[in-house]
Amino acid sequence: MAFTTSLARTLCRLPSGLRVLLTRMFLLPPGSSKRLLTYAKLYINDYNLDNLGWAAPKVNAVVNLVKSQTAAGVPIDGIGSQSHLEAGGSSTTLATLTQLATAGVDVAITELDIKGASANDYSTVVKACLSVSNSTPLLFDGNYQKKAAYTAVAQALA
């Protein structure tokens, strides 16, 4: 489920009644998607959800949107963060993932690139993911077992 940045910005600025109407137009009716997509997980996935500093208004708006929609019965399984960072920019990752997790759904880093990164930047992101209980963005599960994605990535790099 894609949720564009421009739509998120627009929804945040609208009066609450109009926001609810537009949100219902873009999200699936409660229960319908789970019947149609039994095995799929539905995520709101967007960029600029990777920094609780300068992007805090957007992070908080998405958290509030997910809370209100899941409370209304919309089957949202998670929030995905397309993380495009600069070297040294991983320091806010833990705080940001922790805030996203307050929505009560899974949290995943669905894209990650760190321009000019050191190994420490990637280590910081992985440690942040492991610290958030409902964060599942890694190639390993909660028991440190390889996910199918691990083999796919290893084969692609071979």
Reported as a single tens digit per residue, the pLDDT across 96-148 is: 999 999 999 999 888 888 888 788 888 888 888 888 877 765 677 767 788 77
pLDDT grade for 1, boundaries at 50, 70 and 90: very low
pTM of the shown model: 0.68
Average pLDDT of the segment spanning 40-56? 86
The CA dihedral of 54, 55, 58, 64, to the nearest 10 degrees, is: -90
What was the pLDDT predicted at 143? 76
Cα dist from 42 to 2, 78, 98, 154, 155, whole Å: 9, 7, 20, 26, 27
Is 86 assigned a catalytic role?
no
What was the pLDDT predicted at 21? 47
What was the pLDDT predicted at 38? 56
pLDDT grade for 2, boundaries at 50, 70 and 90: very low
Report domain extents, the chain.
5-157
Q: Which residue has the tokens 């949107």?
A: 65
Of the residues 111, 122, 138, 139, which is catalytic? 111
Environment class of residue 136 by beta-carbon count within 10 Å: exposed (0-12), middle (13-18) or buried (19+)? Answer: middle
The answer to whether 66 and 79 are in contact (CB under 8 A) is yes
pLDDT for residue 63 is more than 70: yes
Give first-to-last CA distance, the chain, whole Å: 31
- Indicate the CATH number for domain 5-157: 3.20.20.80
The answer to whether 115 and 87 are in contact (CB under 8 A) is yes
What was the pLDDT predicted at 67? 94
What was the pLDDT predicted at 150? 75
What pLDDT, in 10s, does the model give residues 15-35? 454 445 445 545 555 555 555
User: Could you tell me whether strands 106-115 and 43-47 are parallel, antiparallel, or unpaired per DSSP bridges?
Assistant: unpaired
- The closest of 131, 72, 71, 123 to 100, measured between CA atoms, is 131
